[in-house]
Amino acid sequence: EGHGRQAGRNVYESVIKVPLVMLGPQLRGAATRTKSGAETGSELNIVTSHVDIAPTLLSLIGLAPPFTMKGRDLTASSEANVAFFGGRPPKEQFGLADGPWKYIIEDGVVERLFDRLADPEEGHNLVSEQPEIARAFKARVEHWAAHSEALIMDYAALKAADRVK
């Protein structure tokens, strides 16, 4: 994990970049190659997340994802270039990748901001050099984390109210 870099941290590029290959007749005409937002080339330049897999698969078999499901259908045209993520303990890590930027907050205190184009190894923390961007990303991440927790906590109540199918 991490190929020896960023030991103990699980939301850094060396750990989170994993390939996904999907094959099937439903993909005919919808198949596309993607690269992360930090890379350029002839491929479509979008940021994706594991939370996009389930909505994509549901769409491919003709089902709409439930309203509580996060993520987006990767076969649909999308201008979105943002992916939120969270890591598991021992460190609580949340963050987002937005185009070339990547923001991480650990244990609600330690903030990191990287320009993935200029610094693909994520070695130079830009929080003090780009405080406005860090502040804006922190607010977005905190909102996403609170919303995620609310979905988990409220799911039983939503199910009981027959709002989730």
Which pTM value belongs to this model? 0.68
Binned at pLDDT 50, 70 and 90, residue 52 comes out as: confident
**Residues across the chain:** 165
Q: 63 to each of 59, 67, 96, 152, how far by Cα in Å?
A: 5, 12, 28, 22
**How would residue 6 be classed by pLDDT, with cut points 50, 70 and 90?**
low
Q: What is the per-residue pLDDT for 38? A: 41
34-48 per-position pLDDT tens digit: 544 444 443 334 667
Counting other chains too, the contacts that 108-117 makes at CB distance below 8 Å and 24 or more residues apart are 111/138, 113/137, 116/13, 116/36, 116/37, 116/38, 117/38
Ranking 36-40, 59-63, 91-95 by mean pLDDT, the lowest is: 36-40
| pLDDT (average), residues 104-109 | 88
The string of pLDDT tens digits covering residues 126-151 is 999 999 999 999 999 988 878 777 77
The confidence score (pLDDT) of residue 115 equals 94
Best-predicted range by mean pLDDT (50-59, 73-82, 156-165): 50-59
Check residue 128 and give its pLDDT.
97
Q: What is the mean pLDDT of the chain?
A: 75
Q: What is the pLDDT, as a whole number, of residue 37?
A: 41
